[in-house]
Chain A
Amino acid sequence: MSPPILIRGGWLIDPAHRINGRRDLLLNDGVVSDVSERALSVPNAQAIDATGLWVMPGLIDLHVHLREPGQERKETIASGSRAAVSGGFTTVVAMPNTEPANDSPLVTGFIRRRSEQANLCRVLCAGAITKGLKGEELAEMGALVAAGCVCVTDDGRPVMSAGLMRHAMQYARDLGVPVMAHEEDLTLSADGCMNEGATATRLGLPPIPRSAEVAMVARDLVLAEETGARLHLAHLSCAQSVELLRAAKKRGVGVTAEVTPHHLMLTDAAVLGYETNAKMNPPLREEADVSAVREALSDGTIDAIASDHAPHTRMDKQVEFDKAANGIVGLETSVALALELVWKGVLSPPRLVEAFTVGPSRAFRLPGGQLGLGAPADVTIVDPEARWTIDAAAFFSLSRNTPFQGRSVKGRVTHTLVGGRLVFERGKLEEQAR
């Protein structure tokens, strides 16, 4: 049995328990065993000095692509797990657009076994809504949920048929899992590859209008309200989507939503020069949209920050813009980028932590996301003063596709503990430290 871990002298931010102050935290047997305003003394404990550091529940990323099985040159469950814990994430939800797609318990089981072998963070699975993510027939959601899937989604692809989506919601409601929706009307996005607007017009790139997202958000909110299903809106990017979401929440619709760090930090001007690392779906939008998603994150309309970690090889990106793959890696930059909103005064530190912990855990009804007595001993420690420069060459991820290369940021994950085990400490993984 490993010794208890005592995290001493840190500033504990645990929004679920409204804690934002100096606390000592004792972890024992994989759970939280004491949270104390007074200094704790536990002779046999392994101590971590957290003086000057922020101690928070282990961060949860509801939206990552780990690429295994099928595209192991981009990422594997092991490399993605290393990237996750080094970025402060103790739980990630792996999207089903693998090859083969995670539309059967067989694939779910494979991913779970691989993550047990990687033995770093908790890798949870999102199962497919439709077989092969084709949007034609429902996947065996019951079997997927029984195998451990925590939500269903055809992420990366919308379910274009409203009738099928309605059935998926009715069915998922019965299973007690949320339906996560990549909101895109393909007849509106068509051959588009960046946001519609002055920048697309200047670059001569086929545009994706906002209506491609907003119209589908509207459709799915109507369906969620009618079916009583829990709907989770993935990576919102448009001001109007946020307005619809806000109104739906007010009416009591069971909807949650996430936003990515890149939609919070960048506009479509990042595409200038045909920068393929700024190509993603949904595309980067304009200033008004960035302001709207920031505001919605700040006021709680948007529940979670999720990275949409999307690793791609150099070859996938170093091509003509319209042929380049969508998406960027995010696990190792999410926290530092989101912290910029704290330094700018957009988010309070507790609100930021909430969006990385209890926000996502409530959306998917996951254990964790809080540090009450008996909660899983998943803890992330951040040095809020550490200044560093984002350098893709130093990523644990197998991929390097980031538009944030060279960006100077403030705030860095120093420790990550999963189930009471210190898996990452100051730049080194547990396995490297050994």
Chain B
Amino acid sequence: MSDRRADTPSLASRHLLGIEGLQRSEVEAILALARQYKQGLKDGIQRTPLAGKFVALLFFEDSTRTRSSFEIAAKSLGAKVLNWSPTGSSLSKGETLLDTVKNIDATLRNMDSGGPSALVIRHRSSGAPTLVSRQVHCSVINAGDGIHEHPSQALLDAFTLQERLGSLNGKRVMILGDILHSRVARSNVHCLRLLGAKVIVSGPPTLMPAGIESLGCEWAPDFREVLGSLDALMTLRVQRERQTDSFVPSMREYAARWGIGRAVSDQLKPGAVILHPGPVNREVELASEVVDGDRSVILEQVSNGLPVRMAILEMCA
């Protein structure tokens, strides 16, 4: 049974390609709807606003938590899910991204009874969802593109932070690590800034993109100097698959200079929390005792992924 509510807020665009370009009211609407879904999940209340719709998950790049979180979200909203993967597909026969996606879009159009369905796309090329969005009828939801944006991650991070810290107005949040290769960092800078937080970035100088301040954040050359003023510390994964070797000498040196161990964590003020988008390299960016410690909200981030992605799907699909 479809019980799409008339008062469901919508986004100015039918796509969610990134946080950049969204209005604060749009971000707040998604987070408010996510809070309702979280409460609903707790209370055992189920709504199926996507009944009769199709959500296609097109993950051109590996993922576990984002993919399964979107899949569970779509199914629990009543959508049918097409779980596409590039291995063994026509992509391996040389089909272009656009041809692949247009074919799936055409198929979904046939199946679709109640307006456009959604394509949830993850791709290794920055801008791939933007390219696709210009060519399809479905809504396109960016589930992470290259080193550009990962909007659902930023939204669930903001959701988690709001649960812990209340309003983010004036709160100080540091993003620490490989900013250069991080779509999580870019989306978070935009999202936290929209919600009124002060965002500070830090990390190895080789992994700090040029002109990062132009995104509206501050750069701290030495993160230790500002630790005590933070309300939240978001550490990023060292992406060894991106040949980090030529950016930092070793994982050991990374851990020594930018890793968060117990002693560093203790310099945070009381109530300050530590986030990580996962998967964690234990003993590199975070010591195990910090991952599993009191300040860590890492598992909350994961579990909040579900209501947040339900909200995103309802608003876009």
On A, residues with C-beta under 8 Å from B are: 196-207, 209, 273-274, 315, 318-323
Contact = CB atoms under 8 A, between A and B. Distances in A.
Contacts of B183: 204
B209 A205 contact: no
27 contacts: A196-B210, A197-B210, A198-B211, A198-B214, A198-B215, A200-B209, A201-B186, A201-B209, A201-B214, A202-B215, A204-B126, A204-B183, A204-B186, A205-B126, A205-B146, A209-B210, A274-B131, A319-B131, A320-B123, A320-B125, A320-B127, A320-B128, A320-B131, A321-B126, A321-B127, A322-B146, A323-B125
B291 interface: no
B251 interface: no
B41 interface: no
Contacts of A320: 97, 123, 125, 127-128, 131
A322 B211 contact: no
Contact of A201 (B125, B131, B215): B215
B148 to A, nearest CB: 3
B300 interface: no
B210 A202 contact: no
A208 to B, nearest CB: 11
Contacts of B20: 202
A320 B101 CA distance: 13
B127 A207 contact: no
Given A318-B98, A320-B131, A207 B126 contact: no
A160 B37 CA distance: 58
A333 to B, nearest CB: 24
B136 interface: no
A259 B147 CA distance: 31
Chain B interface secondary structure, helix, strand, loop or mixed? mixed
A207 B209 contact: yes
Contacts of B215: 198, 201-202
A315 B95 CA distance: 12
A198 B219 CA distance: 14
B210 A200 contact: yes
B214 A203 contact: no
B149 interface: yes
Contacts of A196: 210
A430 B24 CA distance: 60
Interface string B172-216: 000000000001001000000000000000000000011110110
B16 to A, nearest CB: 16
Contacts of A199: 211
B130 interface: yes
B186 to A, nearest CB: 6
Contacts of B314: none
A197 B211 contact: yes
A320 B212 CA distance: 23
B96 interface: yes
Contacts of A198: 210-211, 214-215
B148 A204 contact: yes
Contact of B148 (A197, A203, A207, A315): A203
A204 B149 contact: yes
A321 to B, nearest CB: 5
A204 B145 CA distance: 9
Most chain B Cβ neighbours within 10 Å, of A197, A201, A203, A209: A201
Nearest to B18: A204
Contact of B214 (A202, A204, A207, A322): A202
Nearest to A205: B126
A204 B129 CA distance: 13
Contacts of B127: 203-205, 274, 320-321
Contacts of A204: 126-127, 145-149, 183, 186
Contacts of A273: 130
Of all A-B residue pairs in the complex, the 5 with the closest CB atoms, nearest first, are A204-B148, A198-B211, A274-B127, A320-B125, A198-B214
Given A198-B214, A201-B209, 14 more contacts: A201-B215, A202-B20, A204-B147, A205-B127, A205-B146, A205-B148, A207-B209, A273-B130, A274-B126, A274-B127, A319-B98, A319-B131, A320-B123, A321-B126
Contacts of A202: 20, 186, 214-215
Contacts of B130: 273-274
Given A315-B96, A319-B97, A322-B146, A201 B126 contact: no
B17 to A, nearest CB: 10
Nearest to B185: A204
Most chain A Cβ neighbours within 10 Å, of B128, B130, B211: B211
Nearest to A193: B126
Contacts of B211: 197-201
A257 to B, nearest CB: 26
A199 B131 CA distance: 18
A369 B146 CA distance: 48
Interface in B132-163: 145-149
Given A198-B210, A198-B214, A201-B209, A321 B125 contact: yes
A322 B126 contact: yes
A322 B127 CA distance: 9
Contacts of B125: 320-323
B209 A319 contact: no
B13 to A, nearest CB: 13
